[in-house]
Amino acid sequence: MVSIWEGGSASSRAPHMAMATTTIEETKNVAIIFGVTGLVGRELARRLLLLEPSWKKVYGIARNPETLPTLIISPCYHFISCNMLNPLETQKKLSCLQDVTHMFWVTWASQFPSETQESCEQNKAMMCNALNTMLSVAKNLKHVSLQTGTKHYISLHPPFDEEKLQFYYYHEEFPRMSKSLNFYYALEDLLMEKLSGKVSWSVHRPGLLFGSSVRSFYNFMGSLCVYGAICKHLRLPFVFGGTRKCWEESYIDGSDARLVADQHIWAAKNSDMISTNGQAFNSINGPSFTWKEIWPIIGKKLEVQVPQEMLVESFWFSKAMAGKEDVWEEIVESDVEGLLCPLSTFSFSSVFAVTI
């Protein structure tokens, strides 16, 4: 369990957050986090609770209930299990949350590939169900914060737009991809339709998220940790599978889930500065990195054998880890926390090593 009352005061653990000025009005802030069990959702909940009394209550919404050992314990925290694709269930479970003042949307429906019509329709329906209820009952709603990502600017699936690949940095006003379906656009358009001229809202676009969550389907660091654990258990070399271009060049923008959460909170607390027509913010750590630079550091941290030839272009994480369920069970028997990382995200890891 993760108790926010352990490990020191708020100021000792998050001084950059604890310095915020508290006013009488701020003490009435109530947050609702859709996707609270995800990489950024968990950090949002922890940080908002650490800011008490600025935030007197936090509602955490997710389809699947939280589990040990990542369960958040606080008298100000209320978890609600809800399938937001079901409009009746959503209305029933959220209609009593009349005290909500700030809404954070850090979730998405992953049933379909992200750049498909089905994904656009499903994600739009899920947010629409939540917005319809919250806008009807939360009369003091001040701000809505939406998280999407840098796929707003470029697709991860071929055929690639070679002209756009010439740009390494994208500003928030960079035009949408004209030839690609993207549920990010559907969600932004929905907020414009529902909130324009009424409630301030912001869009946050992180890169490859680094964080800790047992409920996140796309958990890149979790996948690397599982890969490292299996390499260590079988005494296999910890190699990088991907193209030399991806290995040697800075193609990935990393985003610490904690910093992304901080940006969400900053926008929420400064909603008077944010337009009711929406304002976008890139949410990137800053310095770029190459896998060539950090791979030996990751290997050292995971206590695995890093060979001199770390790059193996014919190696695919998804193929190498296929059929390793029995190996994982052996690891779990000696370390119950091994259950925290699923084996289902190696195809995602391969995407960031090969197709970028």
pLDDT of 153 higher than 90: no
Rg (alpha carbons) of the chain, rounded to whole number: 21
pLDDT of 106 higher than 90: yes
Dihedral sign for Cα 177, 205, 353, 254, please: positive
Could you report the per-residue pLDDT of 300-346, keeping only the tens digit for each? 999 999 999 999 989 988 888 888 888 888 888 776 554 555 544 55
Give me 291's structure tokens: 């896998």
- Tell me whether residue 151 is one of the annotated catalytic residues: yes
Are the C-beta atoms of residues 278 and 192 closer than 8 Å to each other?
yes
Share of the chain above pLDDT 90, in %: 46
When pLDDT is averaged across residues 178-184 and rounded to a whole number, the result is 82
Q: What is the pLDDT of residue 23?
A: 44
pLDDT of 188 higher than 90: yes
Give me 290's structure tokens: 């190459």
- Would you put residue 352 in left (φ > 0), alpha (ψ -120 to 50) or beta? alpha
Mean pLDDT value across the chain:
82
pLDDT of 4 higher than 50: no
Q: What is the pLDDT of residue 345?
A: 54
Catalytic residue, from 153, 184, 218, 227: name it. 184
Q: Report residue 289: phi and psi, to 5°.
A: -140, 160
DSSP states along 103-126 = EEE-----SS-TTSHHHHHHHHHH
- 6 pLDDT band, cuts 50/70/90, is very low
Catalytic residue, from 57, 151, 269, 324: name it. 151
Helix (H) or strand (E) holding 346: helix 346-354
Which has more confidence, 302 or 164?
A: 302
- pTM reported for the whole predicted model: 0.81
Could you report the per-residue pLDDT of 9-58, keeping only the tens digit for each? 333 333 344 334 444 344 589 999 999 999 999 999 999 998 766 798 99
Q: What is the pLDDT of residue 18?
A: 39
Asked which of 101-110, 148-157, 290-299 is least confident by mean pLDDT, the reply is 148-157
Q: What is the pLDDT of residue 10?
A: 34
- Would you put residue 200 in left (φ > 0), alpha (ψ -120 to 50) or beta? beta
Q: What is the pLDDT of residue 356?
A: 37
Q: What is the pLDDT of residue 22?
A: 41
